[in-house]
C-alpha cells in the first residue's frame, strides 16, 4: 500500500513549482494538461518505457493513469505525481457535456475515486504518491478539493482518503504549504510530522519528511541542478 498525499491550491500558488528540487529519475510525473513546467530543468523528459530515466507522462484518461501508477515501480520510480488532478474530472465532463443523463456525474466521480483507491491499495509500500489539485469554496465557506457535480461531495469526502493534505499559501512573496487545519479548509497532517504550521513549498523536503516519519526504506536524492 503506497503513501498518498493531497496538495491543494489555486492556480499560480506553487503546486507544480514545488517539484523543482525532486530528482526526475526517481519520479513519474503524470500531467493531465500538457503544459511546460514552471521552472527550468532538463530532467523532466517525455515518458519512454524503454528509457527508465524519463519522467513525464501526459494523459487525462483514468484507466491510463491507474496503469501508469501500477507500473511506475517496475521502472524504478519511487514517487508518482499527478498534476492538476481535477482535470481528470473536468476534461471528461467537457467531453461528455452533450450527454443528457445525470449518470455521467456518477461515472466521472467513480473514475476519480478509482484512481485514488488503486493508487493507495495496489502499490508497493515504499511508493509515494502526490495528487496536486485546485480548490473550490463550498456554500458554507470551506475550501476543499475541486470536483464535478455532487456525487463525490455527497457520497465521498475525497480528502478523507488521505492522511496528509497540504494547502498552498502565498504570504509576503513567499510560497508555502500549510500543514494544519485552519478551521475553514481540509488540511491535515499526522501528529508531529512537521515542526511548523507553515513549511516551504518544496515537495522534495515533504517527501523526505514522509519517508522519515513512516520509516520507509529509501535514500532520498535531491536534484540540485536546475538548468
Ordered by where they begin, the domains of the chain are 3-213 (3.40.50.300)
Cell 457535456: give the residue.
97
Model confidence at 32: pLDDT above 50: yes
End-to-end CA distance of the chain: 35
- In the chain, where does DSSP find H-type helix? 62-72, 86-95, 103-121, 151-155, 203-213
Residue range 74-103: mean pLDDT, rounded: 93
pLDDT on residue 38: 93
Closest among 16, 68, 8 to 39, alpha carbons compared: 16
Residue range 129-135: mean pLDDT, rounded: 97
Q: What is the pTM of this model?
A: 0.91
Bigger pLDDT: 19 vs 76: 19
Amino acid at each position: 500500500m503506497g503513501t498518498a498525499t493531497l496538495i491543494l491550491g489555486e492556480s499560480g500558488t506553487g503546486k507544480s513549482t514545488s517539484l523543482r528540487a525532486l530528482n526526475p529519475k526517481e519520479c513519474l510525473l503524470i500531467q493531465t494538461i500538457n503544459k511546460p513546467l514552471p521552472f527550468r530543468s532538463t530532467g523532466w523528459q517525455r515518458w519512454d518505457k524503454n528509457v527508465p530515466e524519463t519522467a513525464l507522462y501526459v494523459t487525462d484518461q483514468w484507466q491510463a493513469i491507474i496503469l501508469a501508477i501500477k507500473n511506475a515501480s517496475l521502472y524504478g520510480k519511487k514517487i508518482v505525481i499527478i498534476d492538476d488532478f481535477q482535470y481528470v474530472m473536468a476534461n471528461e465532463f467537457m467531453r461528455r457535456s452533450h450527454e443528457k443523463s445525470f449518470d455521467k456525474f456518477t461515472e466521472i466521480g467513480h473514475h476519480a475515486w478509482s484512481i485514488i483507491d488503486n493508487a493507495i491499495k495496489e502499490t508497493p509500500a515504499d511508493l509515494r504518491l502526490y495528487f496536486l489539485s485546485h480548490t473550490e469554496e463550498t456554500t458554507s465557506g470551506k475550501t476543499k478539493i475541486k470536483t464535478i457535480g455532487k456525487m463525490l461531495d455527497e457520497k465521498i469526502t475525497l480528502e478523507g482518503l488521505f492522511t496528509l493534505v497540504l494547502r498552498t499559501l502565498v504570504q509576503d512573496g513567499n510560497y508555502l504549504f500549510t500543514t494544519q487545519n485552519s478551521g475553514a479548509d481540509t488540511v491535515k497532517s499526522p501528529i508531529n510530522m512537521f515542526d511548523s504550521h507553515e513549511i516551504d513549498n518544496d515537495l522534495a523536503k515533504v517527501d523526505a519528511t514522509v519517508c522519515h516519519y513512516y520509516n520507509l526504506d529509501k535514500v532520498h536524492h535531491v536534484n540540485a541542478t536546475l538548468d
